[in-house]
Amino acid sequence: MDISKCRLRIAAGVMAILALASCSSSDEGGGGSENASVTIGSVTTSNVTETSFDAAADVKISGASASAAGFCYSQQQNPTTADPKAVASVTSGKISATISSLTSGTQYYVRAYAVVNGQVTYSPQATVTTEASQSTSVTPPEIEAYRGPNYPDDYRTLADWGKRAQWNLANVHDPTVMLADDGYYYMYQTDASFGNAHTAGGHFHGRRSRDLVNWEYLGGTMLSTPAWVKDKVNEYRKKLGLKELTSMKEFGYWAPTARNIGSGKYRMYYSIVCDGDLINGEGTWPERSFIGMMETTDPASNVWEDKGFVICAASDRGTDWKRPAGKEWFAYNRWNAIDPSLIITPEGEHWLVYGSWHCGIAAVQLDPATGKTLNPLPDPWGTADDIAPYGRLIATRKMNDRWQGSEGPEVIYHDGYYYLFLAYDGLDVPYNTRVVRSSKITGPYVGIDGVDVTNFGGDAFPIVTHPYKFNDSPGWVGISHCAVFSDNSGNWYFSSQGRFPNGYDDWAPNAIMLGHIRSIKWTPSGWPVVLPERYGAVPNIPVKEEELVGTWQHIDLGYKYATQKEAVSMTFAADHTITSGPWKGGKWKFDEATQILTANNVELCIARECDWESPTRGACIVYAGINNQKTYWGKK
């Protein structure tokens, strides 16, 4: 998590107040405030196909402007914005959009809508029937029959504490996931939640699942702040000649990592941050971060025993903690003790990888028997040599820069390499994930483009996740700070939070934090790619070549700061040519044995996944691949 997360408590509280205000929006329309009027004409449809149609409507707004607009549609009469919708904008007095992912030979009801001053106005209802299918389906019957999970992505009506049994993956932020010996996957997380719902039940909340689809909420694993935190703060204050604190300010409880370390034992490393309690005074760095550890032999009980202090933020600047003038984010600390990740090497070594912004990501070796640092820790200030036991640099975006957008490290070992996943940029829209790899746990970690981020610094590539948008959906942002884990049978998964983009449904929903789980595939060159659609337990039936023929939604995930990358159409013809879209004129071929699609000379991993943008949440085919720095996603 980045430094902006210290404002999440305030932001989430504001969101709870805004949630009350949002209830004034009328779902029956009617025209905004006294000074605004809205008129929407009849919907016209065109270009009707088996799975899509174009919709348009005239709109006249006076005295205000629309904060949201588009078309809502359903197989039931009088659809509302609670039904599937295609988001659009009002341009030159018109609303227009393409509505896709529909069922062939089916009648749909459609209405245009516009949101003005918090109220929704609808057009008269129109009907349209998609064309009947003219071809014999090549989709296996098990896939035709599949229907995905039915829990809502927009979980605001279920967000409060009293409805926690219905949460599933609602209110998930900075998740960590481990597979326990009882066959359950256990997920733990940062305290952040919509409307601060988690404050009612402790810290580092847990849930579990057998299938990665249906999750049972377990509650907080830490009911109160461990005494060692206050003791450690006062120990350091005394050494600095500062007055002992008898009471302390509110803490932040951030970004745990949980691991099955074998022999029936489980460890969770967690971050606790206190604002301004250790170093006081104008112009000083405003927080002190600690990493502690808990253990359990029974994660199903949700009872963990705290084992105390492991490590804290450390500075190579002695006690000269004041920032230079004009450098607001010039960190006193070299290593920021936030976002721990535990990796156990094939040789049995335990390493803690941690860091958030400041100078980059550090790694420190642990004693497997105790879970604490292998070597004793000196006071967390001094020269660079003095604080060497606090860890060594393994990744940085900029050498010697105390403010850089990288955090949330996660390290795994796979086929001879350590893969270091990193969260990049700010928490809201810009958040994206990168990965680099090394043959040694301490580096050097090198990107797919050859950049050594350990010894020289630089942006890590490839991109793993990025803000994106498929058709007929608001898309997702904030998809980072990941957990990467396996089922011990060769299948790997990526979990993170996802957030709606600001402005969705006349709302500022960036505080809605839904847990995302996606499958990871490995390219022929050994790099991980994350599938564009979330995991939905679709039957694992290999894709046949003839299923690839047709129109795809293609997304170029090339990096663009704070921008959702939107899907465009691309068509694969039966003669193995690409007849429309960004790769028009190229060719494609498919290896059914490896499930690798090569299109326009880019190798793409093919899989079946849940189509979360479809009203029925049926199955779809997706691809993900890398071409040097570029990552590509697609779905059909």
Average model confidence (pLDDT) across the chain = 90
SS (H, E, C) 317-360: CCCCCECCCCCCCCCCCCECCCCCEEEECCCCCEEEEECCCCCC
| In the predicted structure, residue 505 carries a pLDDT above the cut 60 | yes
> What pLDDT score was predicted for residue 23?
32
Q: How many domains does the chain have?
A: 1
With respect to residue 58, please indicate whether it lies within any of the assigned structural domains.
yes
With respect to residue 337, please indicate whether it lies within any of the assigned structural domains.
no
108-148 per-position pLDDT tens digit: 999 999 999 989 999 999 999 998 876 566 899 999 999 99
| In the predicted structure, residue 278 carries a pLDDT above the cut 90 | no
**What confidence tier does 294 reach under pLDDT thresholds 50, 70, 90?**
very high
With respect to residue 126, please indicate whether it lies within any of the assigned structural domains.
yes
When mean pLDDT is compared across 291-305, 479-493, 498-512, the lowest value belongs to 498-512
For residue 52, the domain's CATH number is 2.60.40.10
Average pLDDT on 510-531 reads: 95
With respect to residue 13, please indicate whether it lies within any of the assigned structural domains.
no
Omega prior to 444 cis, within 30 of 0:
yes
CB 204 within 8 A of CB 221: yes
∠631-634-636 over CA atoms, to 5°?
170
| In the predicted structure, residue 33 carries a pLDDT above the cut 80 | no
What number of other Cβ atoms are within 10 A of residue 503's Cβ?
Answer: 15
Residues in the chain: 636
With respect to residue 106, please indicate whether it lies within any of the assigned structural domains.
yes
What span, in angstroms and rounded, lies between the C-alpha atoms of 575 and 559?
A: 32
With respect to residue 445, please indicate whether it lies within any of the assigned structural domains.
no
> What pLDDT score was predicted for residue 4?
43
167: Cα within 13 Å, side-chain hemisphere: 29
> What pLDDT score was predicted for residue 102?
86
With respect to residue 338, please indicate whether it lies within any of the assigned structural domains.
no
Instruction: Identify the domain containing residue 53 by its residue range.
Output: 31-132
**What confidence tier does 25 reach under pLDDT thresholds 50, 70, 90?**
very low
For 575, the token pair is 């003669």
469-484 per-position pLDDT tens digit: 999 899 999 999 999 9
With respect to residue 92, please indicate whether it lies within any of the assigned structural domains.
yes
Average pLDDT on 556-583 reads: 95
> What pLDDT score was predicted for residue 13?
37
> What pLDDT score was predicted for residue 249?
72
